[in-house]
């Protein structure tokens, strides 16, 4: 299912909806990991009990290689602003269930619809992002059910694993309220209220 509830629709065929933009003064707050860092995918998966949301090509690749298909995976065919190698790209991005537009330092309507639908689906979803997927960890933590795992990459360190709690969700909601843009529309599309 695609974000507009029709069959496969290319991201470039839809109107881009800017929702939230990360203000410069918040960038430093997002540099710190939101959970423990793990370098071993098998060891990380031992602590996953519930839905798994991954943000990033390399993280998604390592968890797939360890035998766990994420319930929702966000990939953009890039790592640290460079293209991922062919093996990673072929593993994580060959058959996306959603293709969305999400510019760097933004959260678009496209990516939020894909997150919501991925979380609601009984089938695994892979979201191929035209732009950048880095910030998706924040609304993923805000929207994921308690006990879900959100895993994203910390450059040159490893995989950050957040086991979602009510406290995590509340912290992310407060953070999201500080973004610039249409916060009411954002909560409406995410399907939750602040």
- pLDDT by residue for the chain (194 residues), tens only, comes to 333 333 344 444 455 788 999 999 998 888 889 999 999 999 999 999 999 999 998 999 999 999 999 999 998 877 766 766 777 777 787 788 889 999 999 999 999 999 999 999 999 999 999 888 989 999 999 999 999 999 999 988 999 999 999 999 999 999 999 999 999 999 999 986 54
**What per-residue confidence (pLDDT) applies to 83?**
66
Instruction: Evaluate the CA torsion angle 140, 30, 109, 193 in order and state its sign.
Output: positive
The structure tokens listed for 2 are 């695609």
Distance of CA 33 to the CA centre of its chain: 15
pLDDT on residue 76: 84
H runs (alpha helix) in 1-108: 41-45, 57-65, 86-92
Is 10 marked as binding a ligand?
A: no
User: Is 134 marked as a binding-site residue?
Assistant: no
Q: Is 85 annotated as a binding residue?
A: no
Q: Is 92 part of any known ligand binding site?
A: no
**What pLDDT is recorded for position 71?**
96
Asked whether residue 182 is marked as a ligand-binding residue, the answer is no
Q: Look at residues 35, 190, 16 and name the one whose alpha carbon lies nearest to residue 102.
A: 16
**Is residue 57 marked as binding?**
yes
112 neighbors 82 (Cβ within 8 angstroms)? no
Question: Assign residue 60 a region: left if phi > 0, alpha if psi is -120 to 50, beta otherwise?
Answer: alpha
| Residue 74, token pair as written in the block | 């966000």
What pTM, to 2 d.p., does this model score? 0.87
Bridge partners (DSSP) of residue 152 are 55, 160
Quick count: other Cβ atoms within 10 Å of Cβ 190?
22
What does the alpha-carbon distance between residue 103 and residue 166 come to, in Å, rounded to a whole number? 29
């Amino acid at each position: 299912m695609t974000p507009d509830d029709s069959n496969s629709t290319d991201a470039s065929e839809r109107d881009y909806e800017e929702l939230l933009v990360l203000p410069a003064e918040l960038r430093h707050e997002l540099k710190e990991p939101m959970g423990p860092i793990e370098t071993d995918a098998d060891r990380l998966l031992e602590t996953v009990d519930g839905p798994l949301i991954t943000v990033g090509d390399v993280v998604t690749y390592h968890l797939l290689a360890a035998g766990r298909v994420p319930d929702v995976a966000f990939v953009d065919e890039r790592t640290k602003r460079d293209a991922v190698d062919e093996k990673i790209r072929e593993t994580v991005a060959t058959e996306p269930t959603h293709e969305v537009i999400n510019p760097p330092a933004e959260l678009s309507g496209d990516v939020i619809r894909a997150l919501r639908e991925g979380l609601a689906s009984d089938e695994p979803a892979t979201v191929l992002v035209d732009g950048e997927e880095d910030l998706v960890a924040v609304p993923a933590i805000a929207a994921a059910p308690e006990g879900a795992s959100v895993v994203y990459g910390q450059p040159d360190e490893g995989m950050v694993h957040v086991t979602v709690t009510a406290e995590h969700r509340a912290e992310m909601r407060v953070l999201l309220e500080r973004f610039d843009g249409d916060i009411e529309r954002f909560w409406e599309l995410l399907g939750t209220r602040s």
